[in-house]
Amino acid sequence: MLSPKSALLIGEITHARKEWKECGLITNLKEYPSGSREDFISKCRNGDFNGVYVIYRSNDSNKITGNFNEELIGELPDSLKFICHNGAGYDNIDVGACSRRGISVANTPIAVNDATADVALFLMLGALRRITPSFQAVRQGEWRGGPNFQLGHDLKNKVLGILGMGGIGQAVAMRAKAFGMKIQYHNRRLLPPREESGAKYVSFEELLKTSDVLSLNLSLNPSTKHIISKPQFDIMRDGVIIINTARGPLIDEAALVEALNVGKVWSAGLDVYEDEPNIHPGLIENENVVLLPHIGTATFETQVRPVVLICECIC
């Protein structure tokens, strides 16, 4: 049986292990590095985690426990008061079920803003320049993309529409502004001028109709799943560029493939997918799409920063 005050880590901490261990100076540390959902629930029922007041989890730990849905939350120890989630997106946690249990949920959006925004600009540049054919051809000895080489587009003076102007969206806007893009956004609420940094607030429909490039930077929840599907593609400008570094299910991938095939979407840059790690074959086959394997936060600095933030909360 654990003492009355313990912190539980689900999964591994590869970086900032020292900071996690330092939390042991003021609280007992418990770890569940691997296992299964069934085993985790069994341990909850057997009282192995009694006394745990805070759980540290991440998106990577989801492969161990599965979603923190109502079923799993109902099995967590009565002592639990906090769930600290390493990551900006927390769509795999049922916050409503946590609230009904009196459990507070925290995440780490600020820590991942810059790295994710950097990848969004990388994808934007790659998509506008249709970089994939040239990138692949140079390793095959074909100069400048071979016989199918195509010209790309400049970022300067393009209208960037940001759907979701939170911390990551604002970081994308700041970077895109340096390239001379014109920034507009749609959000659940109008931002104060200091957070807009010169960006123009528009309606969702106007954002779709008037953006040359559309960047998705919003959270996934039941109301935003497939927020971009065929009806939305139909009202976009011909030749629009789509960038997604948020969550894959925000886009109906089948509709995106169709829009790419008919030329409605000129190119796309994607770091996330609807059924990860599976990617729609139509996206893989299309050379006008720049694909990354969900590496938006894959930097040493960004892997350390959220762990430190969570350890500060625990301590």
> Catalytic: which of 15, 101, 226, 294?
294
153 is catalytic: no
Query: What's the CA gap between 215 and 169, in Å, rounded?
Result: 8
H-state helical runs in 129-200:
131-137, 167-178, 193-196
Query: What's the CA gap between 209 and 243, in Å, rounded?
Result: 16
Cβ atoms of 271 and 73 within 8 Å: the answer is no
Q: In what order do the strands lie in the sheet with 52-58?
A: 28-32, 6-10, 52-58, 82-86, 104-106
> What end-to-end distance do the CA atoms of the chain give, in Å?
22
DSSP annotation string for 32-64: E-S--HHHHHHHHHTTTTTTEEEEEEESTTHHH
In angstroms, the Cα distances linking 24 to 9, 27, 129 are: 12, 5, 50
> What residues contact residue 303 under an 8 Å CB cut-off, 6+ apart?
14, 15, 16, 297
In angstroms, the Cα distances linking 259 to 131, 227, 264 are: 19, 15, 5
247 is catalytic: yes
> What residues contact residue 193 under an 8 Å CB cut-off, 6+ apart?
none
> Catalytic: which of 57, 85, 186, 247?
247
276 is catalytic: yes
> Catalytic: which of 276, 285, 301, 312?
276
Q: Please identify every residue annotated as catalytic.
A: 247, 276, 294
